[in-house]
A and B are shown apart, each in its own frame.
Chain A
Amino acid sequence: MNEKEALMRILVIEDNMGDFLLISEYLEEEFNYLEIEHTSTCKEALTRDTSKYDVILLDLSLPDRSGEELVTEILKFAGNIPVIVLTGYSDRNFAIKSIGMGTADYLLKDELKSDILQKSITYSIERKKVFNQLEDSEKRYRELFHLSPLPMYVFDKETFKFLDVNRAAISHYGYSKEEFLEMTVFDIRPESEKDRVMETIAQNEELEGRKNPGVFKHLKKNGEQIDVEISYNDLDFEGNPALLVLANDVTLKFQYISAIEKQNEKLKEIAWIQSHVVRAPLARLMGLVNLINMTDDDDPDIDKKEMMQHILNSTDELDRIIRDITNKTEQINIDSLK
């Protein structure tokens, strides 16, 4: 290890000069590159810039503050920097308690030796580093949840009550966070979907990882019904089995798909009309012209007047069909969705 070679910056908060000198001596034995700052009151310590220190050593009884009050104040001030408590035998029980409050370690002054002090400092700094990393990653995950552009929520697997909702869910559904936390997941669904939700959760109970049970109907606060594509994961939320749900609103997507399907239907209809209905009078016309062409003027079988009437009927029919198609084409208007 090269902790001896690294620069160690330490703030010692200690009103007893004798104790301070002893601590300084021990520190100098253990660390080659050392910056020690000393304050003898809490008030003075609070004026310092914490970013300049790697660790804070704190005596539990100072002239202006002591005990719980002191620890609370210094911990708040220290932020991410580890605080090691130094105390006498009489304060031992409180020193142990201070660990629960967030101090990194406690050392009994009567048993203090340079190697014990060095070990405590090194451990405290390393442990704090890991702790800070954990806190960072938790914060990142919280942000991932809260800043996600897609509505997400967590609900209790047994009571179905909302435990957390992200900002997108709040703005999408129209309920405030407080309102959400008073509701169950059934309050954002039509009554008819309740059984389906229970069944889905029960069916996927054994499944590991992310579940994608498909599209469900949800209700916004304003009563508007939406189609949402659900995916969810099991999650331990503060000790309770919960589900983390992502609800992607696909209402508009569905409307588009249905509009496109309708459009396809109409296009198919038009194609069918083209080949069957349009072609019938046209083929008849061609046949009639052909017939007139190949018969003699005095053929008793063929009545020219009758032929002419058939030709007229066919052209009228053709005209009507084409108007019909134009009508159908104009019904296709996918832009109206916007």
Chain B
Amino acid sequence: MKYDILIVDDEDIIIKLVRHLLIKSGLHHDPQGFLTGQDALGYLNNQKDSNNPQIILLDINMPDFDGWDFLDFIPSMGLDFPVYVVIITSSINKSDRIKASQYELVAGYIEKPVSMKNMEEIKALEPLSSLFNT
């Protein structure tokens, strides 16, 4: 595969669930899970040698360093590879959806619970579809 998938969520069981769905749907054979945004940023920082695009499935509500902080931080890192973020949140607030759409990094927005159907949606996302077809 020419891309990596990261799952960032403060709940272990959600990572497990999303990982399972990603594998089953064939989107990726080994997605990486992170319980905090900082851990995920650390991982991204170590990928400087790789040119693989990174797809990040990002939870918004996390203690201390939340999804918004994560999104605000990424541009300052000067990463050489493309980063695509798909928000995965339990929020059903319109204001959160609107806020997410204002980030250039954000490619998609999924409301929990995550199901197989969402995996199909990810495959169809405009900025990502080219990755999956090659």
Please tell me if A276 contacts chain B, counting CB pairs below 8 Å: yes
Per-residue interface assignment for chain B, residues 26 to 53, with 1 indicating a CB less than 8 Å from any chain A CB and 0 otherwise: 0000000000000000000000000000
Please tell me if B114 contacts chain A, counting CB pairs below 8 Å: yes
- The stretch that binds B, out of A49-57, A67-75, A277-285, is A277-285
Please tell me if B54 contacts chain A, counting CB pairs below 8 Å: no
Beta-carbon nearest neighbor of A290 in chain B: B115
Chain A residues with CB below 8 A from B61, complex form:
276, 280
A189 to B44, CA, bound (A): 64
Please tell me if A294 contacts chain B, counting CB pairs below 8 Å: yes
Please tell me if B20 contacts chain A, counting CB pairs below 8 Å: yes
A287 to B119, CA, bound (A): 13
Q: How many chain-B residues does the 8 Å CB contact rule pick out?
A: 17
Chain B residues with CB below 8 A from A201, complex form:
none
Beta-carbon nearest neighbor of A303 in chain B: B16
Q: Do A286 and B112 have beta carbons less than 8 Å apart? A: yes
List B112-131 residues whose CB lies under 8 Å from chain A: 112-116
Beyond A276-B61, A301-B20, A302-B20, is A288–B13 a contact (Cβ under 8 Å)?
Answer: yes
Q: Do A283 and B112 have beta carbons less than 8 Å apart? A: yes
Q: How far is the CB of B120 from chain A (nearest CB, A)?
A: 14
Per-residue interface assignment for chain A, residues 245 to 289, with 1 indicating a CB less than 8 Å from any chain B CB and 0 otherwise: 000000000000000000000000000000110011011111110
Chain A residues with CB below 8 A from B112, complex form:
279-280, 283-284, 286-287
Please tell me if B69 contacts chain A, counting CB pairs below 8 Å: no
Per-residue interface assignment for chain A, residues 292 to 336, with 1 indicating a CB less than 8 Å from any chain B CB and 0 otherwise: 001100000110000000100000000000000000000000000
Per-residue interface assignment for chain A, residues 106 to 124, with 1 indicating a CB less than 8 Å from any chain B CB and 0 otherwise: 0000000000000000000
Neighbour of A287 across the interface among B24, B92, B114, CB < 8 A: B114
Query: In the complex, which of the residues A279, A285, A294 has the most CB atoms of chain B within 10 Å of its own CB atom?
Result: A279
Please tell me if A291 contacts chain B, counting CB pairs below 8 Å: yes
Q: Do A284 and B113 have beta carbons less than 8 Å apart? A: yes
Chain A residues with CB below 8 A from B115, complex form:
287, 290
A279 to B113, CA, bound (A): 10
A211 to B114, CA, bound (A): 63
Chain A residues with CB below 8 A from B11, complex form:
284
Q: How far is the CB of A273 from chain B (nearest CB, A)?
A: 12
Beyond A284-B112, A287-B113, is A276–B90 a contact (Cβ under 8 Å)?
Answer: yes
Q: Do A282 and B90 have beta carbons less than 8 Å apart? A: yes
Please tell me if B93 contacts chain A, counting CB pairs below 8 Å: yes
Q: Do A295 and B20 have beta carbons less than 8 Å apart? A: yes
Q: How far is the CB of A118 from chain B (nearest CB, A)?
A: 89
Chain A residues with CB below 8 A from B13, complex form:
284, 287-288, 310
Q: How far is the CB of A91 from chain B (nearest CB, A)?
A: 95
Q: Do A279 and B91 have beta carbons less than 8 Å apart? A: yes
Interface of B toward A, CB cutoff 8 Å: 11, 13-14, 17, 20, 24, 61, 90-93, 111-116
Interface of A toward B, CB cutoff 8 Å: 275-276, 279-280, 282-288, 290-291, 294-295, 301-302, 310
Given A283-B113, A284-B14, A285-B113: 4 more A-B contacts, CB < 8 Å: A275-B91, A280-B61, A295-B20, A302-B20
Please name 6 pairs of A and B residues whose Cβ atoms are closer than 8 Å in the assembled complex, sorted by A: A279-B112, A284-B113, A286-B113, A287-B112, A288-B17, A291-B17
Q: Which 9 residue pairs are nearest across A and B when measured between Cβ atoms?
A: A283-B112, A286-B113, A287-B113, A283-B90, A279-B90, A280-B90, A283-B113, A275-B93, A287-B17
